[in-house]
């Protein structure tokens, strides 16, 4: 069974900075586009557009809600990202903490481009043991 909903949030804070000169001020004014779909016991959260502070908060909210529903696996789909900043990328690490308690864990779906870059940026300061440097 496949169910789907879209989460949107309005900006609540101003960004503290961008990633490599990305325009986080403008990006954080956009409403996030986070779509949640359930595929059996897997919850897929797709993020489109810009992964910024506001979208990162919506992503974390959706992931938290998904973990509480008895899901066994959480997939975060980043293939439709256009851009990201540090605040948005940090949400990916926070999602890892939520997915660590699931039987099948957390998985990221990426291709080439901003989704892959966001994932790499998110985990740049984490050593192989999972600790932040």
* Contact criterion met (CB below 8 Å) for 64 and 2: no
In a domain, residue 15? The reply is no
Q: What residue numbers bound the domain in which 62 lies?
A: 2-9+24-122
Indicate the angle between helix axes 86-99 and 114-122, nearest 10 degrees.
70
Burial of 24 by CB count in 10 Å (0-12 exposed, 13-18 middle, 19+ buried)?
Answer: buried
- Render pLDDT for 36-69 as a digit per residue (tens, 0 to 9): 999 999 999 999 999 999 999 999 999 999 998 8
Mean pLDDT of the residues in the chain: 79
pTM across the whole model:
0.73
Question: What is the average pLDDT across 93-105?
Answer: 92
Give the CATH number, domain containing residue 114.
3.30.750.24
In a domain, residue 50? The reply is yes
In a domain, residue 30? The reply is yes
DSSP code per residue over 92-121: HHHHHHHHTTSSSEEEEE--SSHHHHHHHH
Given a cut of 80, is residue 6 above it in pLDDT?
A: no
pLDDT for residue 32 = 73
Given a cut of 80, is residue 22 above it in pLDDT?
A: no
Number of domains comprising the chain = 1
In a domain, residue 93? The reply is yes
pLDDT for residue 68 = 82
pLDDT for residue 69 = 84
Q: Which has the minimum average pLDDT: 9-18, 74-83, 90-99, 122-131? A: 9-18
């Amino acid at each position: 069974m496949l169910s789907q909903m879209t989460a949107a949030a309005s900006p609540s804070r101003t960004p503290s900075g961008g990633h490599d000169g990305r325009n986080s001020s403008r990006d954080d004014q956009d409403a996030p586009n986070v779509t949640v779909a359930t595929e059996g016991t897997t919850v897929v959260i797709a993020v489109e557009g810009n992964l910024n502070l506001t979208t990162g908060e919506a992503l974390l909210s959706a992931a938290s809600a998904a973990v509480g529903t008895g899901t066994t696996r959480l997939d975060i789909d980043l293939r439709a990202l256009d851009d990201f900043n540090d605040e948005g990328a940090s949400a990916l690490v926070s999602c890892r903490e939520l997915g660590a308690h699931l039987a099948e864990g957390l998985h990221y779906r990426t291709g080439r481009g901003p989704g892959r870059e966001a994932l790499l940026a998110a985990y740049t300061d984490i050593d192989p043991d999972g600790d932040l440097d």
